Amino acid sequence: MEEKLKKIKEKVEIQISQVEEINSLEKLKSEILGRKGELTQILKNLKSYDESQRPKIGKAVNDLKRLIENKIEEKKQVLKNQELNKRLESEEKVDFSLPVKEELGSLHPITIVQREIEEIFRTMGFTVEDGNEVETEYNNFEAVNVPKYHPARDMQDTYWLENGQLLKTQTSAAQNRIMKKYGAPLKAIFPGRCFRNEDLDASHENTFFQLEGMMIDKDISVANLIYFMKTTLSEIFKKDLRVRLRPGFFPFVEPGFELDVSCMYCEGKGCKVCKQAGWIELCPCGLIHPKVLKMGGIDSEKYSGFAFGLGLSRLAMMKYGITDLRLLNSGDLRVLKQIGIK
């Protein structure tokens, strides 16, 4: 038996040394050590040997099996290293000292516009606040005067969470929290991502950005609102824009308006973008409803305020001449290149 095992060992060592690929090595392993292999067969037929010899033979076979397993494992490492070296020598060579060839990323158009607006409002004394993306029903609706079963909720098809909270449908959801945090007087803007279960088209996404603003003080009027909006929008578009107000209904403002700007492309003459109207609808706004002030802990007899809700995604679209809002969420770098950001 000793002689037989010695021969098996020599044969296997030659076979292992001749293998050049990991797949072939695995195949060889199962041939040698598998059920049909010579060593397994010896163990299966142990009964045919003299009883006194069996433990010795069993041990010798198992020792040899372990030795072969180790040799195969060693060979596997050698083959793996060879393969890696081959790949490094060919196409996958990496030289970390070379200058960067890949294109660097850049800020998203919405972030650029958001930061511009933040800067403009900061210079006018506004603080920039954050809002939550997951909100309570109270903050998103009730605290802005949209109680349960109010038809205005139908305008904002809402993603409800199982715990009764929701994905905020409007940046107005932060109004109550900010009023409670600062009291009056206050000047704040609060940009944020909003979610609505919309039918998607070139100007509607289910995930979009708004930028809301509030100014609360004594004797705040529509005149203040017009001034701030005109100044901001003219700064953003680097043009002296005109603004106009039309009546608009939002339960949290009274009176409420839709604010239009003179078309920045045709300067009010009428073109494709403004659909020949000379005006572009940009921003719902109004004077904050006394009930909303009260819910925010502010004395509505003493203070008044304005609020506006800019569609930030749509503003970025206009600024960069993007014709389909969905491109902004596409993550497609070609969009950035095309609009000249990269």
Residues that bind ligand FA5 (CB under 6 A): 170, 172, 196, 198, 204-205, 208, 210, 212, 250, 253, 284-286, 307-309, 311, 313-314, 325
Report the relative pairing of strands 243-247 and 253-262 from DSSP bridges: antiparallel
Q: 134 near 193, Cβ under 8 Å?
A: no
Distance in Å, CB of 231 to ligand FA5, minimum: 18
Distance in Å, CB of 163 to ligand FA5, minimum: 23
Distance of CA 151 to the CA centre of its chain: 32
Nearer to ligand FA5, 177 or 196 (CB): 196
Nearer to ligand FA5, 33 or 222 (CB): 222
Nearer to ligand FA5, 286 or 296 (CB): 286
Nearer to ligand FA5, 103 or 324 (CB): 324
Nearer to ligand FA5, 32 or 190 (CB): 190
What is the token pair recorded at 8?
């098996």
Distance in Å, CB of 253 to ligand FA5, minimum: 5
As a whole number of angstroms, the distance between CA 313 and CA 292 comes to 26
What is the token pair recorded at 165?
């909270």
Q: Is residue 63 classed as helix, strand or coil in its secondary structure?
A: helix
Q: Is residue 203 classed as helix, strand or coil in its secondary structure?
A: coil
Distance in Å, CB of 84 to ligand FA5, minimum: 50
Rg over alpha carbons for the chain, rounded to the nearest Å, is 36
Q: Residue 3: CA atoms inside 13 Å, Cβ hemisphere, count?
A: 0
Determine the residue with CB nearest ligand FA5. 311
Distance in Å, CB of 260 to ligand FA5, minimum: 11
